[in-house]
Amino acid sequence: MPRHDVSVCLFDLLANNRSAVEIVASDWLAKYNSSEWKVALAELYTMLAKAGSCLITVTVQDFDQLSAEGIGASVLTDMLAGNFLDDNPMHFQAMKSQKGPFQHFRSSYLEFWDRIVKASDAIGTFHTNQQTQEDMREDSLENPTSLFDSVLDMLAVFSGLRARRLRLAATEAGLQVISSLVHKARVAADTRDLKQRQLDAERKKKRPNRAIAKSLHEGLASAQNSIRSAETMIQGAFNRIFTHRFRDIDPSIRSACMYSIGQWMCDLPLFFLSDFYLKYLGWSLNDKDSRVRVAAISSLLHLYQASSENVALMDTFNARFILRICEMLDDVEPHVVANAVKTLGALHVSGVLSRQDMDPVVSLLMHEDIEIRGAAASVIPLLIRCEVSQNTDVLNCASFRATDKTPDDKQLRSSTLLAIIHMTANLHGSRARIASVVHALWDIYEDIFTDWNLLFSLLLTDGSDYFQHNSLKPNMSLNTSHAAGLSNLILCTVRRARGEELVKSSNICGHPMHVLSKRHVTKSQRVAQCHAHELFTQASMNLLPSVMRKWKSDEQVLVPLIEAVRYLKLEHYSLKHKEDDFGAIIKLVAEVFFLHSSKRVMDACMDVLCQVIGEGTVRFREMCAKCSDDLFSIVASKIDEIVGVSQSEHHHRNVQNGNSLDKRHRTPPIKNDDIDHLQIQIALLRLNSFLSFMALPLSLSDASHYDIIHNNLLTIISDVINGPSRFQVHSAALATRAAAMLLVQRAVLAVEESPENDKHNVKYTALKTDFMDTVAAACRSLIETNSCSRLLAKAFASSVTNLVVYSQPIFHSPALGNPVSVEEEQNTGHTFCLTDSTLRAVWDVCNHLIDIPHKDGYTLDSPARDSAVDDEEMSRLAYNLAMCDVALMNRGFVASELFANLGQSGHWTDCAIRSLMTDLRFLGPQAAANTIMTSLASAFEEVISEEIANNDDIVDAFGELAFRLADMFTVGSHRDRMVVRCIIDEGLKYVVPHATPHPSRLQFLALGLGPFVAKLASGDAKALVHPLAAVVSVIEEDDDLYAPLFAFVKVVATRARGTT
């Protein structure tokens, strides 16, 4: 009796998750072995058709009248007629969906085919026809073919149909049939090997048992026959299904073929690991679809990892396709690259690839994709073990235990660290590259990376004694570049152990706020971070000062060590009463501050002092505050000394020449030897570094000291501009930045100490005015002499922008804690009132450099710079100045004139303009519209001026400008729709300021507003028809003067009808 409803087809039973596939398969096989074998095969055809989404039922009459090809054609015709399912039951995503009628169909479908193959083969009816004579007489129609032949004909026909879903269902079934046969052959091979071993053992006995030997002989022959039978069927099914479908147009079918053949090769290597079958994997490595390439390379990876014998059998394949595997490291799909990396690692372990061939894999540790970095990190231990074994006398290179502190283990750990340093050095290791390496290898080498005693010891020892004692070869020793890499490694490992992310995740997108958001840290992670903090502090207390003294003359090694001071746990110094030891570190930092002229060293020193002053205890804060006061005094005195000497010499020369200090009587240029330019630049660099990190060390009662510094900085700027230059341009740029930061800090200090002191407020206002007058005069001088320097222009623009931003209403009432009103700020002098003339002068310099090509990157004593970098920086500064103008100062002409450069001043300027447009949209549609309208109106005023009234080139240029601005907007965007509507409204107000139009501005309708009408929504155009009709009603239509107005009305009316 059947154990399910016979009226339900196989497809419905398999789609129903409550049906047991084993029972369904056994019932179907019982029907096939009975007199109803035609009904069973008809049901199998029906199930295959419905698995391919065709809702057809194949009857016994169809089976009798049609061949397999005829049934396939009938199914295809029915499917083309529209009789098919909307959902694909065989789709891979159907297995992942939580709901749906075919959630488990694919797995049940493949299991059904596996069951019928194994069950029929077990009773001997799969490959041969075992129907009895009695069954034939009862049915009077015998089954002429075996089940294998019937199934193979069915699947071969359906896998070649035009419908992709039918081909997918038939191909999946055919691949599963081959997989079942491979399993049969593998079991038979295992049985054969077992029988052979038993037979050999029996023969070795002194008195072998003939009965047992005969039984083993028969079992061995039976297993061999079973293997030959399975291989014959595999070969037949492979030739009729796989050889046609591995190049199918559907990539899902091709990828399924690659996954299947890879599994067959792992299960039955002696049969499939030949060039006849391996070539299909090799060809698919070049497939255009990434899913097929992933399937092919992952199948190869499993083959290489399964057994070393597989690699030996694939020597010809490796020689032919190994270059293609190496090329896949540059694939666009991360999954392909990750599998290619692991595959090359397996080949390296097998000895097929040398260490030099793995260098491209090492460089992938810096890749932006996290999957590729992880794949490369999994291969690195294999490379390091080989390198360590070649350069040390350690026998056990696989021991990476952190708890075992034997000499061999210490030697191994140091060798591993040096191997990593050599690896990063070969990658031209910088701090960013070392950070990427530490981030990628952290999970593997965390115990070695956090052995800071070993890291400091490697830096502290000279190298030769340590390496000689630990049996390290000379090529593993440290040089200066390796020492720099090791110091950077110390800093990166400390940051990573404290929970910082060394590499930003590529999956984080959107606003930077989400990138900077703090990650959730578990309790165990907090405990581990605190423990690492304590371990680093303990190691640093003993070794860090000595290491810093040893390498204090080497900037590359010293800077990471200074930055690592920020991560010391100062409580340990207090608990152990070693405050003086930390004071020695601070004194060493102060010494290094004046020892080097690099900005990187200066910033690192100031960052340490700022960190301790802000977060340290009272003792440490006082210690660092006194140190910062001394540093500031020394730097200020040095600048005053150099500027004072130069002023006295300049005055002495003018008196000797009998000339006054008037600009019309300038002295000849002074030789560079008269003033040490390098000293003033270094002093200004130190002042800039100090002001960037530290607060002013003195109170307003000692403000005269600041006045002297401020006057000296303005003197440097004026001398460079009014020249002959007694200072270099670079010095003037540094002085400009320092003066701006000094003013900002004095503003904050004035609010904190004496918000109601009029004397200090008046003094501060006078200093701001002097600075802005100096900057404005310098900008005008640059424009007049046509000697614009990008370095000075960037310094002026950035300083003015910073002053505008930082001098906004940030002041609060000391009593109530409420923001001070605008009137009170103006009365107290706390606001920053930038005049139109000053803003115009600064913007003209920026705009002039944006308009002209880059030429002076190597002139005016400034170092050579790449033009693209300079263009990017100038565009960024122009954007910042325009945003300050629109959002804070409400002038508007900077942004409007910047828009006029769209499409004319290079790629970076266009990027700045589009970024500005994005930000203007956030301020509201009216702000964006006003800015664009101001740009168009100012440009049109030049068009209608008397001097160029007949210049057709200017008219064409204005029309092109309007079209470029209009191209920034999209018709279907609701946000752009509001902006375009506001632009049209403002443009009409410009042309029709009163009841009647302005005659000279009528041409603006077609040239300026015409391109924006095409971007106007039809509903907004309809709303404009009535106001325009009111304007037209008071004008005579025959008057040719107003012809542009009537033409514009027709264009708007056309747009209102939805056309252009």
Q: List the structure tokens of 315.
A: 């020597």
* pLDDT tens per residue, range 524-568: 889 999 999 999 999 999 899 999 999 989 899 999 999 999 999
Alpha carbon of residue 225 to chain centroid? 58
- Residue 864: phi and psi, rounded to 5, are -65, 135
pLDDT at residue 965 is higher than 60: yes
Average pLDDT value for residue range 49-56: 89
Q: List the structure tokens of 943.
A: 């068009």
> For residue 329, what pLDDT is reported?
93
> For residue 63, what pLDDT is reported?
85
More reliable by pLDDT, 646 or 155: 155
* pLDDT tens per residue, range 450-482: 999 999 998 888 544 444 444 444 444 567 888
Provide the 3-class DSSP secondary structure of residue 585.
Answer: helix
Q: How many CA atoms lie within 13 A of 951 on its CB side?
A: 13
Spell out the alpha helix ranges (H) of 658-702: 677-693
Q: List the structure tokens of 776.
A: 């404005």
Measured CA to CA, the distance from residue 58 to residue 238 in angstroms comes to 27
Q: List the structure tokens of 818.
A: 């409420």
Return the closest-CA partner of residue 860 out of 670, 720, 738: 720
Average pLDDT value for residue range 501-516: 56
Measured CA to CA, the distance from residue 437 to residue 458 in angstroms comes to 19
Alpha carbon of residue 667 to chain centroid? 56
pLDDT at residue 6 is higher than 50: no
Write b or e for each residue in 244-264: b if 16 or more Cβ atoms lie within 10 A of its Cβ, otherwise e: ebbebeebbbbbbbbbbbbbb
Average pLDDT value for residue range 376-385: 88
Measured CA to CA, the distance from residue 143 to residue 38 in angstroms comes to 8
860 phi-psi bin (left φ>0, alpha ψ -120 to 50, beta other): left
- For residue 387, the tally of other CB atoms under 10 A from its CB is 20
Asked if 174 and 155 count as a contact pair (C-beta separation under 8 A), the reply is: yes
Measured CA to CA, the distance from residue 962 to residue 983 in angstroms comes to 12
Asked if 919 and 883 count as a contact pair (C-beta separation under 8 A), the reply is: yes
Q: Which amino acid is at 983?
A: I
Angle between helical axes of 147-158 and 37-51 (0-180°, round to 10)? 30
Measured CA to CA, the distance from residue 142 to residue 608 in angstroms comes to 94
Distance, first Cα to last Cα, the chain: 75
Provide the 3-class DSSP secondary structure of residue 851.
Answer: helix
Q: Which long-range contacts (CB under 8 A, 24 or more apart) does 524-528 make?
A: 525/499, 528/497
Average pLDDT value for residue range 650-675: 43
> For residue 111, what pLDDT is reported?
92
Provide the 3-class DSSP secondary structure of residue 860.
Answer: coil
> For residue 405, what pLDDT is reported?
42
Q: DSSP letters of 1031-1057?
A: HHHTS-TT-GGGHHHHHHHHHHHHHHT
Q: Give the percent of the chain with pLDDT over 90.
A: 28
Measured CA to CA, the distance from residue 500 to residue 5 in angstroms comes to 63
Spell out the alpha helix ranges (H) of 307-430: 308-313, 315-327, 334-349, 359-363, 370-391, 407-426
Asked if 273 and 310 count as a contact pair (C-beta separation under 8 A), the reply is: yes
At residue 96 the predicted structure's pLDDT band, cuts being 50, 70 and 90, is very low
* pLDDT tens per residue, range 813-836: 343 344 444 444 444 445 556 778
Burial bucket for residue 61 (CB in 10 Å: 0-12, 13-18, 19+): exposed
pLDDT at residue 284 is higher than 90: yes
Measured CA to CA, the distance from residue 998 to residue 1003 in angstroms comes to 10
The region of weakest confidence among 302-306, 680-684, 827-831 is: 827-831
Measured CA to CA, the distance from residue 363 to residue 359 in angstroms comes to 7
More reliable by pLDDT, 349 or 750: 349
Average pLDDT value for residue range 712-716: 88
Measured CA to CA, the distance from residue 253 to residue 166 in angstroms comes to 11
Average pLDDT value for residue range 614-639: 88
Question: What average pLDDT does the structure give for the chain?
Answer: 80
More reliable by pLDDT, 192 or 828: 192
Task: Give me the count of residues in the chain.
Answer: 1060
Tokens 């009841």 belong to 995
Measured CA to CA, the distance from residue 626 to residue 635 in angstroms comes to 14
Whole-number Cα distances in Å, 901 to 691, 843, 853, 886: 35, 13, 13, 17
Rg (CA), the chain: 41
At residue 951 the predicted structure's pLDDT band, cuts being 50, 70 and 90, is low
Provide the 3-class DSSP secondary structure of residue 810.
Answer: coil
Identity of the highest mean pLDDT range in 14-23, 495-504, 562-571: 562-571
Average pLDDT value for residue range 97-117: 80
Asked if 781 and 722 count as a contact pair (C-beta separation under 8 A), the reply is: yes
Give the helix/strand (H/E) hosting 101.
Answer: none
Burial bucket for residue 236 (CB in 10 Å: 0-12, 13-18, 19+): middle
Query: Using the 8-state DSSP alphabet, how is residue 88 labeled?
Result: -
- Residue 54: phi and psi, rounded to 5, are -95, 125
> For residue 90, what pLDDT is reported?
80
Measured CA to CA, the distance from residue 802 to residue 789 in angstroms comes to 20
> For residue 727, what pLDDT is reported?
80
Asked if 437 and 519 count as a contact pair (C-beta separation under 8 A), the reply is: no
Q: List the structure tokens of 900.
A: 């006029």
- For residue 627, the tally of other CB atoms under 10 A from its CB is 22
Average pLDDT value for residue range 722-750: 82
Asked if 963 and 1011 count as a contact pair (C-beta separation under 8 A), the reply is: yes
The region of weakest confidence among 326-330, 680-684, 851-855, 1003-1007 is: 851-855
Whole-number Cα distances in Å, 292 to 44, 88, 249, 285, 872: 30, 20, 11, 8, 42
CA angle, residues 124, 130, 133, in degrees to nearest 5: 155
Q: List the structure tokens of 849.
A: 């450099």
Query: Using the 8-state DSSP alphabet, how is residue 347 labeled?
Result: H
